[in-house]
Amino acid sequence: MTMTKISGRALMFAAAAICPCIAYAENPSPRTEPLRETVHGITLDDEYRWMEDPANRDEMIAFITQENARTRAMLDALPERAWFEQRIEEISSGLDRIGSFTQCGDLALVRRIGAGERLARLYLRDAKGERLFLDPEVVAGNELASFGAIEFSPDCRRISVQVSTGGVEAGRVILFDVASGTPIGQPIERIWGEFPVSFIGNDKVLYTQMAADPGANDAMLGMTSYIAPIGGGTPVQVLGNGMMVGPENFPFVVALEGEPFAIGIAAGARTDNEFYIASSDGLRAGKPKWRKVISLEDKVGLAMPRGSELFALSTKEIPAGAILRHPLADDGTPGAAEAVFAGAPNRLVRGFLVTREGVYVQTTSDGAAQIFFLRDGRGPAAEIPLPFEGSIFALIPDADGSGFSFVLTGWAQGLTALRVADGKLIDPGLGSQVWDGAKDMTATRVEAVSKDGTRVPMVVLRRKGASGRTPTIVDSYGGYGIDTVAPYYARNEMAWLDRGGAYAFCGTRGGGERGRNWHEGGRGPNKPRGMEDLAACARQLTAMGIAPQQGPIISSASMGGTLVPTAALSDPDAFGGMITRVGIVNATRIAAAENGANQFAEIGNPDDPQQFRDLLAMDAYQMIPVAAPPVPTMMVVGLNDRRVVPWMTAKWVARARAKWPDAPIYLRGDTDAGHGVGSAEDVRRSEAADLYAFAWSQQSR
pLDDT digits (tens, 9 = 90+) for 485-494: 999 999 999 9
Model pLDDT, residue 401: 85
Model pLDDT, residue 18: 28
Question: If DSSP codes are grouped into helix, strand and coil, which group holds residue 314?
Answer: strand
The percent of residues in the chain predicted with pLDDT above 70, rounded, is 96
Interval 138-164: pLDDT, tens: 999 999 999 999 999 999 999 999 999
| Confidence check: pLDDT of 181 > 60 | yes
Interval 399-442: pLDDT, tens: 888 899 999 999 999 999 999 999 999 999 999 999 999 999 99
User: How far apart are the C-alpha atoms of 602 and 620, rounded to whole Å?
Assistant: 17
The torsion angle over the Cα atoms of residues 500, 567, 605 and 654, rounded to 10 degrees, is: -90
Check if the beta carbon of residue 67 is closer than 8 Å to that of residue 611: no
β-bridge pairing 382-384 and 391-397: unpaired
The CA-based angle 434-364-269, given to 5 degrees, is 90
| Confidence check: pLDDT of 697 > 70 | yes
Question: If DSSP codes are grouped into helix, strand and coil, which group holds residue 69?
Answer: helix
Q: What is the mean pLDDT of residues 375-396?
A: 95
The confidence band for 484, taking pLDDT boundaries of 50, 70 and 90, is: very high
The torsion angle over the Cα atoms of residues 231, 161, 390 and 395, rounded to 10 degrees, is: -10
Distances 241 to 264, 464, 589 between C-alpha atoms, Å:
13, 55, 24
| Alpha-helix residue ranges (DSSP H) falling in 469-593 | 493-498, 516-520, 527-543, 564-570
327: preceding bond cis by omega (within 30 degrees): no
Beta strands in 195-260 (DSSP E): 198-200, 204-209, 224-229, 236-240, 250-254
Q: What is the mean pLDDT of residues 671-686?
A: 95
Interval 575-610: pLDDT, tens: 999 999 999 999 999 999 999 999 999 999 999 999
Q: Taking Cα atoms as reference points, which of 683, 658, 680, 660 lies closest to residue 47?
A: 658
User: How far apart are the C-alpha atoms of 250 and 47, rounded to whole Å?
Assistant: 33
The percent of residues in the chain predicted with pLDDT above 90, rounded, is 91
Q: pTM score, two decimals?
A: 0.94
Phi, psi of 249 (to 5 degrees): -95, 160
Q: Taking Cα atoms as reference points, which of 696, 619, 671, 442 lies closest to residue 45?
A: 619
The confidence band for 701, taking pLDDT boundaries of 50, 70 and 90, is: low
Q: What is the mean pLDDT of residues 52-76?
A: 97
Distances 158 to 72, 102, 107, 184, 203 between C-alpha atoms, Å:
46, 13, 11, 9, 10
User: How far apart are the C-alpha atoms of 569 and 546, rounded to whole Å?
Assistant: 23
Domains of the chain: 9-90+437-699 (3.40.50.1820)
Model pLDDT, residue 10: 26
Start-to-end CA span in the chain (Å)? 28
User: How far apart are the C-alpha atoms of 478 and 486, rounded to whole Å?
Assistant: 13
Interval 625-669: pLDDT, tens: 999 999 999 999 999 999 999 999 999 999 999 999 999 999 999
User: How far apart are the C-alpha atoms of 153 and 496, rounded to whole Å?
Assistant: 43
User: How far apart are the C-alpha atoms of 393 and 149, rounded to whole Å?
Assistant: 14
Q: Taking Cα atoms as reference points, which of 178, 232, 226 lies closest to residue 203?
A: 232
Hey, CA dihedral for 354, 360, 362, 368, is it positive or negative?
A: negative
Interval 541-551: pLDDT, tens: 999 999 999 99
Element (H, E) at 338: strand 338-342
| Confidence check: pLDDT of 515 > 60 | yes
Backbone φ/ψ region at 211: left (φ over 0), alpha (ψ -120 to 50), beta: beta
The confidence band for 27, taking pLDDT boundaries of 50, 70 and 90, is: low
Strand-by-strand arrangement of the 309-314 sheet:
300-306, 309-314, 322-327, 338-342
User: How far apart are the C-alpha atoms of 550 and 548, rounded to whole Å?
Assistant: 5
User: How far apart are the C-alpha atoms of 543 and 166, rounded to whole Å?
Assistant: 42
User: How far apart are the C-alpha atoms of 661 and 616, rounded to whole Å?
Assistant: 24
DSSP code string of 566-629? HHHHH-GGG-BEEEEES----GGGGGGSTT-GGGHHHH--TTSHHHHHHHHHT-HHHHGGGPPP
Check if the beta carbon of residue 529 is closer than 8 Å to that of residue 521: yes
User: How far apart are the C-alpha atoms of 302 and 695, rounded to whole Å?
Assistant: 39
Interval 274-311: pLDDT, tens: 999 999 999 999 999 999 999 999 999 999 999 999 99
Model pLDDT, residue 232: 83
Give the chain's mean pLDDT.
93
